[in-house]
Amino acid sequence: MTLFRLALQSHRTGAIATAAIGGFAGILNATAYVSIAGATPPDRAAFAHSMEIVGQQLTYLLPRPVQLDTMGGYLVWRDLSTIGIVYAVWAMLAATGAGRGDEEKGLTEAWLAAGVSRARWLLTRAGAFVAVATASLAISLVLTELGTVIAQDAVPASASAGELLPLLALTLWAFGAGLFVAQLTATRRVASVAAGIIVIAVFTLNSSLRAGADPGQARWLSPFYLFDRSTPLLADGSVDPLAIAVSLAVAGLLVALSVWAFLRRDVGGALIRGRMPSGRPRWGPSSDPLLRLPVLAGIDQQRGWIVGWAVAMAILGYFLSSLARTIVDGFKDIPAMQVYLQRAGISGYADVVGAIWFSTALLIMAIFVVAQVSSWAADDAEGRLETALAAGVSRPRVVVERIAVLLIGAGIVAGVSSVGVYVAARAFDIPVPADRLALATALVLPVVFALGAIGHALVGWRPRVAVALVAAVAVASYFVQEFAPLFDWPEWAGRASLFALYGTPMTKVDWAGAATLIVIGIAGTAVALAAMRRRDVGR
């Protein structure tokens, strides 16, 4: 089998998953638009007026709403910007896998020993990603177009096709960033955290621009800003060739720098190395006392990973919370939104902080869990689990310690991020009760417990597909929470979402939902223990 075909296979699962997410989201958003906006011009004009006012307050997450009386305008606002984030995250993870993960598995060294040059290895991996990303995006856009046809409000096929290049340019920018960061770090986990922080930073830069800030020429550093410049689905919209060219040029430059760095570093090492100790090497037990303690050893080994997530989420929490007062004050002039807020039980700034921040935090924590499940599956495939079992660690202990480490790590990340939220509330004079904020933060852990236990049960059953399946559970929970109210699904269907079970604890605590999440976590842990006992390691 050729190197290029192997590279294609390495990206296959991610490409299929993102195509499914993008296509499913496109179909749901297209059909939902007709349901909520109506079919007559007056209904759509009224919907566009109200939602454009609301959308101005949501620019921290979505682009400014334009032409919401058309299917194309709604998809640009509600669907495509979110799909762009999904593809950027996948590209970043795929790049760190290609640039660092293959070295941890020994694949890079094997191919280099077989005579493949370093430049050919990395360029082949990059070329394969371009091919699968293009195919995945094309499928997503075709399914989205199908959704508009089903809704009997089809957008021009040429306009849908016009979105391919802007989305591809954004995806390749994120891939290039992840690939270059992978050359600067020693492990895939550290590379993923560092590249993730970069993606969050450039997204936040564009969010500030959407909210009215003027970062000057620095806005061109954000691929999300460059993506927003192309709007082929809008009436009289077009594709911005300059923005696409800049994104592709940066992506190409980052790949070229990655090849240069790979040619100059050792396999398994980082481009920037610390000072090597002098003298003869000494072999002996580590002096770190935490490595001798159950659970805390796992936390200690992931301290850089956990700190990176905590800092990134704290910064994002500060930014989002700082917008709460502006959003609430803007809603005061919209009678319809006042009625909506009253029905939702949102009566003050603290409730809006909870709605903005914790809905975002749950999604990010789901990504944190999926990344941990990926590391558990890698431990099985790369022999680390076998080594631990050979050293006398029992299989039940492996399961319990992994989930305990996940909960403690998630607790640290959620706690630090909530500190950022509270600091922003104090700085912008937003009255957020500390006790309610602490309770809402603590109730994030049952969601993590449930999703993590499901993930470990899947790892014990089929490690090779566990990551894709647990990601599908998280994505399904997100979409069910989003679309159940729009399509007036029965209550039991809405409660199928892990995020819906979390509720809105800053407004009202759903103790039944929290208990259900804990029961799911306990059941998932029991299944994981049974699966770990019966399955052969490495299969």
From 122, 161, 123, select the one nearest 142 (Cα to Cα): 161
Percentage of the chain beyond pLDDT 70 is 86
At 250 the pLDDT is 96
At 282 the pLDDT is 67
DSSP 508: B
Q: What is the mean pLDDT of residues 360-377?
A: 85
β-partners of residue 511 are: none
What number of residues does the chain have? 539
Average pLDDT, the chain: 83
Lowest mean pLDDT among 182-191, 296-305, 344-353: 344-353
- pLDDT tens digits along 6-58: 888 888 888 888 898 889 889 988 888 887 777 788 888 887 877 766 666 56
Alpha carbon 539 to chain centroid, angstroms: 28
Six-digit token string for 389 = 């079992």
- When pLDDT is cut at 50, 70 and 90, the band that residue 486 belongs to is low
Q: What are phi and psi of 193, to 5 degrees?
A: -65, -50
Q: 352 or 138: which carries more pLDDT confidence?
A: 138
Query: Does 334 have pLDDT greater than 60?
Result: no
What does the alpha-carbon distance between residue 328 and residue 1 come to, in Å, rounded to a whole number?
A: 59
- Looking up tokens 């305990």 gives 404
Lowest mean pLDDT among 20-24, 73-77, 148-152, 381-385: 381-385
What does the alpha-carbon distance between residue 146 and residue 156 come to, in Å, rounded to a whole number?
A: 11
- pLDDT tens digits along 75-124: 988 888 889 988 998 899 889 888 887 887 778 888 888 888 889 989 99
What does the alpha-carbon distance between residue 209 and residue 51 come to, in Å, rounded to a whole number?
A: 20
- What contacts 533, CB < 8 A, 6 or more positions away? 395, 396
- When pLDDT is cut at 50, 70 and 90, the band that residue 537 belongs to is low
At 252 the pLDDT is 95
DSSP 40: S
Which bin fits 92, alpha (ψ -120 to 50), beta or left (φ > 0)?
alpha
At 349 the pLDDT is 64
Q: What is the mean pLDDT of residues 206-229?
A: 82
